[in-house]
Chains A and B, each alone.
Chain A
């Protein structure tokens, strides 16, 4: 399977925050043979270890969160409709008229809406009230619904990827299966530094998985691979577009969670220029990433974020330019090659690290959980 096929397959799997197993299982089965060791931690993070050539003692963590925004069934109404709440940020009107899969069995359902003919004028001219939406699986009453689903079941958007336009891909959960697919590809390469490829959980509900993953890895440097906001549509001021589709991976200077390491960002930009790989800077400072958690891990980590611009993220129909994805992989690989010889690495190595939990010290065998 080539990298794009892997990405498409990843987007067709469901992994709402807290229920990332289907995504993790797929990733693990495809990268097992490319890493020296791996473990699944208590939270569900998949932490992989790929030993470097030994020419550099630098410890680099690569992070990509596996989870996606979705829904949870919070009540079953007497008429068989399912009340739900969103997990992660989803706008109300994005939910209307959408197909979902509910629970482990993937029971099909739809999110309906009051017909325009029956709406009162205030409803007609107002915004969608998320609290009034329900999932309809076709059940006649509560008993029938309870036969198929339970309160607490997760629900994910049921949308298959579509190639379209000029090198574009539409899919759900591009945030952040693009990061996952990129990291899977990167792990197939060979590098001088030690690589810890971390596929993390629960980013969308507050950057949770990255905290425990980085605690276990104690990296010198971390690179976060993401799908980020992009709104390069007409009538949008340039600074409000965040990023632009097809203009290369976006580097974060600052967002709600982090101010990226200045030298590391500079190194990435230089590497991109030297290798003629397009890149851009993210223009907005909204949203947060795992970089915010990993940066303050232990005595501190130098972090940077590299992201594929994704239009309409947090909807079932996010759109990316495939070239941004392949350029992000190329750039990350080049950065990993350049890092050990860079000033950034020298500065990191000078830092005094506390005796850390080095869970991969025991080379006696694989760590299975």
Chain B
């Protein structure tokens, strides 16, 4: 499947953080097309194994989380409206008048209501609205709502990716389905390349809750090299220019303390020689990604972080450029195939 089509398909899947089992099977099937073996661990991390042809193969672990931010039902009103809290970093300012799916006994359509401007008193016009004051409307009375929905049910946003100009896609959960799409690009590319190492491509869970899936994966798979694929902030007005990266200008290669300087330098060199578009992403802290977990897993996994610039992160219109996804996959695969050994 072409990358853009694949990413659109991935964007339409719901996998709210902590409840990724909604989508595990589909991710496993996707990996199955390109891998020698696919495993699912107890956390619902999906592990695709592609064997290398070396005598003494090393192992490379590539992770990209497949969970998405969403909501969790915290209460059901007598009138059938649902109270909720955030699962992951949801901005309450960005979810008013939004369509959602409530994953109850069956999937239920709902909307997050907002007060019409006609009924907002002028003194309240500029006041922010707290998440605890919002409700999901599933169009049912209390009795029917309680039959179908339980406290603790997850809620996902509805906004499948749509194509815009310049090969850009905008929709929900491009963070980090674009990373998952890059994993598939890696697998596709590796089919064409000769690689000695065994490659473990893993779609991880619960990143949005605190990088949780990566903890078990980096323990379970003894990797010689780790590569993390996630999104970084795309550039937009009114945002810090050193923390945001233009869309369509290639993969962002992170440089910083938690990242393997040796591999990162070699990777940048490779990008240059292969003419794969890239940009440098300075990460002075722990990157806020799974790279932080890799770097201190077991005896420490040398790790690289490759990011796909995404505008409007954690809204339902996260925007990426498909060219950047492809560049990320190509660079990672080529690096794995010809990687620097210790």
Chain A residues in the interface with B (C-beta under 8 A): 77, 79, 81, 89-91, 93-94, 96-99, 108-119, 125-128, 132, 134, 136-140, 144, 148, 159, 162, 164-168, 170, 229, 231-235, 240, 242, 284, 286-287, 311-317, 319
Q: Which of these, B91, B164, B311, contacts A109 with CB under 8 Å? A: B164
Query: Could you tell me if A311 and B96 are in contact, using CB atoms closer than 8 angstroms?
Result: no
- Contact present for A312 and B111 (CB under 8 Å): yes
- Are the C-beta atoms of A97 and B243 separated by less than 8 Å? no
Q: Is the CB of A97 within 8 A of B95?
A: yes
Interfacial chain B residues near A313, Cβ < 8 Å: 116, 118
Given A89-B117, A138-B164, 15 more pairs with CB closer than 8 A: A93-B114, A94-B96, A97-B95, A97-B316, A110-B317, A114-B238, A127-B93, A127-B128, A137-B165, A140-B248, A233-B113, A234-B81, A234-B135, A313-B116, A317-B98
- Which A residues are in CB contact (< 8 Å) with B77? 234
Closest beta carbon of chain B to A99's beta carbon, Å: 7
Tell me if B99 and A170 are in contact (CB < 8 A): yes
CA distance A182 to B241 in the complex (A): 53
Those of B161-220 within 8 Å (CB) of chain A: 162-166, 168, 170
* Interface membership of B120, Cβ < 8 A: yes
Which residues in B have their C-beta under 8 angstroms from that of A231? Answer: 113, 115-116, 119
* Inter-chain contact total with CB atoms closer than 8 Å: 198
Q: Are A113 and B99 closer than 8 Å at their CB atoms? A: no
- When chains A and B are docked, how far (Å) is the Cα of A297 from the Cα of B98? 40
A117:B165 contact, CB within 8 angstroms: no
Min CB gap A245→B, angstroms: 9
Cβ contacts under 8 Å, A89 to chain B: 117-118
Most buried by A among B133, B138, B244, B311: B311
Contact B109 A162 (CB under 8 A): yes
Residues of B within 8 A of A91 (CB): 96, 114-115, 117, 120
Looking across the interface, which residue of chain B has its beta carbon closest to that of A286? B118
Interface size of B by Cβ–Cβ distance < 8 Å? 63
Give 10 closest A-B pairs by Cβ, nearest first: A165-B139, A138-B164, A168-B139, A112-B312, A138-B165, A315-B97, A110-B317, A164-B109, A115-B313, A138-B168
Complex formed: what's the CA distance from A275 to B149 in Å?
37
A134, B237: Cβ atoms under 8 Å? yes
How far does the alpha carbon of A162 sit from the alpha carbon of B170 in the complex, in Å?
21
Distance, CA A111 to CA B120, complexed state (A): 23
Q: Nearest chain B CB to A154's CB is how many angstroms away?
A: 18
In whole Å, how far is A36's beta carbon from the nearest beta carbon of chain B?
Answer: 37
Q: B126 contacts which of A127, A137, A140 (Cβ < 8 Å)? A: A127
- B265 interface residue (CB < 8 Å to A): no
Docked-complex contact A319 and B95, CB < 8 angstroms: no
B238:A311 contact, CB within 8 angstroms: no
Flag if A112 contacts B127 (CB, 8 Å).
Answer: no
Q: Are A115 and B118 in contact (CB under 8 A)?
A: no
Bound CA–CA A159/B132 (angstroms): 26
Residue numbers in B under 8 Å from A110 (CB-CB):
162, 164, 170, 312, 317, 319
- Contact partners of A234 in chain B: CB under 8 A: 77, 79, 81, 135
User: What chain A residues lie within 8 Å of B140 (beta carbons)?
Assistant: 165-166
B33: Cβ under 8 A from any A Cβ:
no
Report how far A89 CA is from B114 CA in the complex, Å. Answer: 13
Q: Is B141 an interface residue, CB under 8 A from the partner?
A: yes
B238–A317 CB distance below 8 A: no
CB A358 to nearest CB in B, in angstroms, measures: 36
A137's partner among B119, B139, B164 (CB-CB below 8 A) is B164
Type the 1/0 row for B86-105, where 1 means its CB is closer than 8 Å to any CB of A.
00011101111111000000
A351 to B317, CA, bound (A): 58
Asked whether B239 is an interface residue with its Cβ less than 8 Å from the other chain, the reply is yes
Chain A residues lying within 8 Å of B116, measured Cβ to Cβ, are 229, 231, 312-315
Cα distance A234–B159 in the bound complex, in angstroms:
26
Say yes or no: A108 contacts B319, CB within 8 Å. no
23 contacts between A and B (CB under 8 A): A89-B118, A91-B117, A93-B96, A94-B114, A97-B95, A97-B159, A97-B315, A108-B164, A110-B319, A113-B94, A115-B313, A116-B90, A116-B91, A117-B233, A117-B314, A134-B237, A136-B317, A140-B165, A164-B108, A166-B141, A286-B118, A312-B113, A315-B116
Q: Quick one: closest A residue to B157, CB to CB?
A: A97
| Cα distance A287–B116 in the bound complex, in angstroms | 10
Given A140-B166, A286-B118, A319-B111: A97 and B312 within 8 A (CB)? yes
- Could you say which residues of chain B place their CB within 8 Å of the CB of A132? 237-238
**B70 close to chain A: CB less than 8 A:** no
Name which of B91, B110, B159 has the most chain A CB atoms within 10 A of its CB: B91
Contacting residues, chain A, for B111 (C-beta < 8 A): 170, 312, 317, 319
Once bound together, how far apart are the Cα atoms of A166 and B148, in whole Å? 13
With contacts A96-B315, A165-B140 taken as known, whether A233 is within 8 angstroms of B164 at the C-beta atoms is no
Q: Is the CB of A117 within 8 A of B135?
A: no
- Within the complex, the shortest CB–CB distance from B234 to chain A, in Å, comes to 9
How far, in Å, is A207 (CB) from chain B's closest CB?
14
Interface string of B229-261 (1 = CB under 8 A from A): 000010011111001100010000000000000
- Name the residue in A97, A125, A162 with the highest tally of chain B Cβ atoms < 10 Å from its Cβ: A97
A164 near B118 with CB under 8 A, answer no
Is B137 among interface residues, defined by CB-CB distance under 8 A?
A: yes
A111 to nearest B CB, angstroms? 7
B144 interface residue, CB < 8 Å from A? Answer: yes
On chain B, the residues within 8 Å of A112 by CB distance are 170, 236, 311-312, 315, 317, 319
Q: With contacts A97-B98, A234-B81, A314-B116 known, is A139 near B165, CB below 8 A?
A: yes
Residue of A nearest to B315 (CB): A97
B40 surroundings in chain A (CB, below 8 A): none
B93 & A128 in contact (Cβ 8 Å cutoff): yes
Contacts of B142-164 to chain A: CB distance below 8 A: 144, 159, 162-164
Complex CA–CA separation, A313 to B111 (angstroms): 12
Write out the residue numbers on chain B whose beta carbons fall within 8 Å of the beta carbon of A99: 159, 162, 317
Chain A CB within 8 A of B266 CB = no
What string of 1s and 0s marks CB contacts (under 8 Å) between B317-329 and chain A?
1010000000000
CB distance from A262 to the nearest CB of B (A): 24
B129 within 8 A of A: yes
In-complex Cβ contact of A319 among B79, B139, B162 (8 A): B139
